[in-house]
């Protein structure tokens, strides 16, 4: 049981560790202190649902209907391009200040909607959580639940560490110039991911 649990945790953590659109968004919200708990919980719960579906055998359905992956890929690329353009617009048209970025000044719904889009419109998430973790869980017959649980725990640990750990970077982003650079980096990252999705 412990072996399956630890294996699921280690693999889940290694898969989610790569910098992607979702992680960049969580980091950004952590730096801005905008509904950090809700964003981290949203990402972790989304992963939990996908991992559970994969362990339960949904990965075979995705493999049988490849058109689902294609649809998700192009929808995700479109959203990422729009998000990248908005980041560029923000970088060059808005004045950034950490002191102004308090939770009470930003509506929760648009932030959660963006978080959900970055998560559920990213086909890489399905490949990592549903297909890959789902298929590897079969190597632990009778212990699939514990393998999946380990992966789910890793998601909660990672996202909450990233979201709340971002506060240690706040001194770096205390100037408007640093925020502009960060927004441009986010935009480039989004464009790059979108391009990789289009290329397949």
Cα distance between residue 183 and residue 189, in whole Å: 10
In angstroms, the Cα distances linking 94 to 9, 68, 88, 108 are 40, 38, 10, 20
Tell whether the torsion through CA atoms of 134, 140, 142 and 143 is positive or negative: negative
Cα distance between residue 30 and residue 43, in whole Å: 13
Q: DSSP character for 90?
A: H
Domains of the chain by residue range: 2-199
pTM for the full model? 0.72
Q: pLDDT tens digit string along 69-94? A: 677 677 767 877 887 888 788 777 76
> Per-residue confidence at 35, pLDDT binned at 50, 70, 90?
very high
| Higher pLDDT among residues 24 and 46, named by residue | 46
Q: pLDDT tens digit string along 142-155? A: 888 898 999 999 99
Low-confidence winner among 9-13, 57-61, 85-89, 101-105 (lowest mean pLDDT)? 101-105
What is the SS3 string spanning 175-193? Answer: CHHHHHHHHHHHHHHHHHH
């Amino acid at each position: 049981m412990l072996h399956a649990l630890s294996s699921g945790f280690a693999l889940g953590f290694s898969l989610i560790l790569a910098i992607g659109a979702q992680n960049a968004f969580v980091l950004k919200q952590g730096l801005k202190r905008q509904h950090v708990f809700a964003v981290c919980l949203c990402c972790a719960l989304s992963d939990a649902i996908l991992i559970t579906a994969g362990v339960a055998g949904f990965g075979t359905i995705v493999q049988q209907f490849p058109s689902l992956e294609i649809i998700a890929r192009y929808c995700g690329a479109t959203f990422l391009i729009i998000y990248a353009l908005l980041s560029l617009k923000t970088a060059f048209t808005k004045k950034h200040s950490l002191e102004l970025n308090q939770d009470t000044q930003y509506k929760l719904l648009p932030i959660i909607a963006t978080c959900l889009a970055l998560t559920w419109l990213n086909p890489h998430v399905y490949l990592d959580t549903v297909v890959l973790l789902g298929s590897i869980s079969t190597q632990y017959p009778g212990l699939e639940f514990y393998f999946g649980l380990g992966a789910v725990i890793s998601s909660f640990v990672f996202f909450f560490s990233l979201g709340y750990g971002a506060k240690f970077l706040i001194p770096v982003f205390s100037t408007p110039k640093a925020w502009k650079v960060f927004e441009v980096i986010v935009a480039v990252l989004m464009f790059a991911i979108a391009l990789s999705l289009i290329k397949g």
